[in-house]
Amino acid sequence: MITKIKNLVVKYAVSVEATTDEDELALQLATATLLMEVARADTHIGEDERQAIHRAIETHFGLSPETTQQITRAAEHEAEHSTSLYPFTRLINRECDYQDKLQIIRMLWQVIRADGYTDKHEEHLVRRVADLLHVPHREFIRAKLLAMET
């Protein structure tokens, strides 16, 4: 997975910020790709969803707008060509603690709710990601309810 991420970095000219190592960059790209996957689940990525992804990645990882743009561009390409969620969730499971995983599920819900509509395919995909990240159903529901309040 790291080799694949490095190839994406080169292909999309993602400039690694001074404090970012390869594992952190891989985690950022994996998270952004999951966010793109959920945005694509209803077959259309709207501008509201793109902005929500950008905000989530920039805020969660504390990145510059330029680096965030590069990561989201690479993540969109990866989401279009990916056949499995497993490589991304495996990396997140390896690198993240439970609280980080909960935050990722919350970010997925924020992206879904960005356009004001929750498609059944989007919800199903978040459920699958939550299962792959070993996040209990009650936390999946809690994240959904929090997203609906905002």
Range of the domain at 49: 2-149
The CB density around residue 5, as the number of other CB atoms within 10 Å, is 23
Question: What does the pLDDT read at residue 7?
Answer: 58
CATH number of the CATH domain containing 136:
1.10.3680.10
CA angle 60, 111, 5 (to 5 degrees): 60
Mean pLDDT (the chain) is 87
Token pair in block for residue 90: 């495996």
Q: Please identify every stretch of the chain with a pLDDT value under 50, giving residue numbers as ranges.
A: 1-2, 13, 16-19
- Residue labelled with tokens 């945005």: 39
Spatial contact of 22 and 2, defined as CB atoms under 8 Å apart? yes
Task: Please state the pTM of the whole predicted model.
Answer: 0.86
User: 118 and 112 in contact (C-beta within 8 Å)?
Assistant: yes
For residue 52, which of 136, 109, 101 has the smallest C-alpha distance?
Answer: 109
CB distance 8 to 77 below 8 Å? yes
Give the number of domains in the chain: 1
- In one-letter notation, the amino acid at residue 134 is H
Q: Which three-class secondary structure state does DSSP give residue 15?
A: coil
